[in-house]
Amino acid sequence: MLTADELERYARHIVLREVGGPGQAALKGARVLVVGAGGLGAPTLLYLAAAGVGTIAVVDDDVVSLSNLQRQVIHGTPDLGQPKTDSAAAAIRRLNPHVTVTTHAVRLTAANALDLVGEADIVADGSDNFPTRYLVSDACYFAKRPLVTAAVGTFDATLTTIRAHERAKDGRPNPTYRCLFPEPPPTGSVPACAEAGILGALTGVVGSLMALEVIREIVGFGEGLVGRLLMIDARSLRFETLTYAWDENNPLSGKHPTIRGLTADDGGQIREQITG
């Protein structure tokens, strides 16, 4: 049930035929986990909160630094040195007091990923490294949760939705993240943001698209990005989409899967449990 304040706050959603009262109620009842409160997570969190998602959980173990503020718009200069989860939660509460925010100021690892993912209805991954992206996608597969995942480079970005625990209309399994990217690039081949730089406004565009895709998945309208990869070139401002499909040889959901679960080694680093 929406209160009078919520009816006014979300009036521009409710008049949309594709959303309406039932769609807004679905947003209010939804639980979303956002991985990362950085360049992608910042706009994602803000627009999910503004849209009225009822419960938002954010996981990030970093603190706000001055170099973040060029793109991580959920944080401000007074937040320097604060945990990003605390800064993000405060901004969400200022924006929309109807949203319940839960914070996890920890690094996402194989030891806690399934618990965190399992508490959500849908996950938005804005992490900035390949090990975490693979971990999140695998955890979503085992927890049977949909995933919206994005990545940005200096002037380029990608976005897709993964529902690997479900089947397509033709009966074939939906593709996994590992069907799209079977292996991460060699270590050192992709320079870090601090080395290569990044266009701040690009993260805003992609993070907003992540929020849009999460909202579409919750409300259930439009054509989602399952099996489709949206690619953005900021130099030419060109958007293109390619399709991808389930790979029967992928190690997670293929015909002969070798990844059976997640575990963590003594150093707390991500390691997948492989069984023959």
pLDDT at residue number 186? 72
Q: Is the pLDDT of residue 188 over 90?
A: no
Quote the strand ranges of the chain, DSSP E.
Answer: 31-35, 55-59, 100-104, 122-125, 147-152, 156-162, 228-233, 238-243, 259-264, 270-274
Question: In this prediction, what percent of the chain has a pLDDT beyond 90?
Answer: 86
pLDDT band per the 50, 70, 90 thresholds, residue 268: very low
Residue 130 domain-assigned (yes or no): yes
pLDDT band per the 50, 70, 90 thresholds, residue 194: low
Residue 238 domain-assigned (yes or no): yes
Question: pLDDT tens digits, residue range 53-86?
Answer: 999 999 999 999 999 999 999 999 999 999 999 9
Question: pLDDT tens digits, residue range 40-59?
Answer: 999 999 999 999 999 999 99
pLDDT at residue number 47? 98
If you count them, how many residues does the chain have?
Answer: 276
Residue 214 domain-assigned (yes or no): yes
Q: Domain range holding 230?
A: 12-274
Question: Do strands 228-233 and 238-243 pair parallel, antiparallel, or not at all (unpaired)?
Answer: antiparallel
pLDDT at residue number 69? 96
Residue 7 domain-assigned (yes or no): no
Pick from 127, 113, 112, 124: nearest CA to 36:
127
Residue 3 domain-assigned (yes or no): no
Of 80-84, 195-199, 265-269, the least confident? 265-269
Of 117-121, 126-130, 231-235, 246-250, the least confident? 126-130
pTM: 0.93
Specify the number of domains making up the chain: 1
Q: How many angstroms separate the CA atoms of 23 and 248, rounded? A: 36
pLDDT band per the 50, 70, 90 thresholds, residue 269: very low
Q: How many angstroms separate the CA atoms of 200 and 238, rounded? A: 17
Q: Is the pLDDT of residue 273 over 90?
A: no
Residue 196 domain-assigned (yes or no): yes
Q: How confident is the prediction for the chain on average, in pLDDT?
A: 92
User: Which CATH number covers residue 262?
Assistant: 3.40.50.720
Residue 1 domain-assigned (yes or no): no
Supply φ then ψ for residue 149, to 5 degrees: -130, 140
Q: What's the whole-number mean pLDDT along residues 25-29?
A: 98
Cβ-contact 227, 174 below 8 angstroms: yes
Q: What is the DSSP string of 102-127?
A: EEE-S---TTTHHHHHHT-SEEEE--
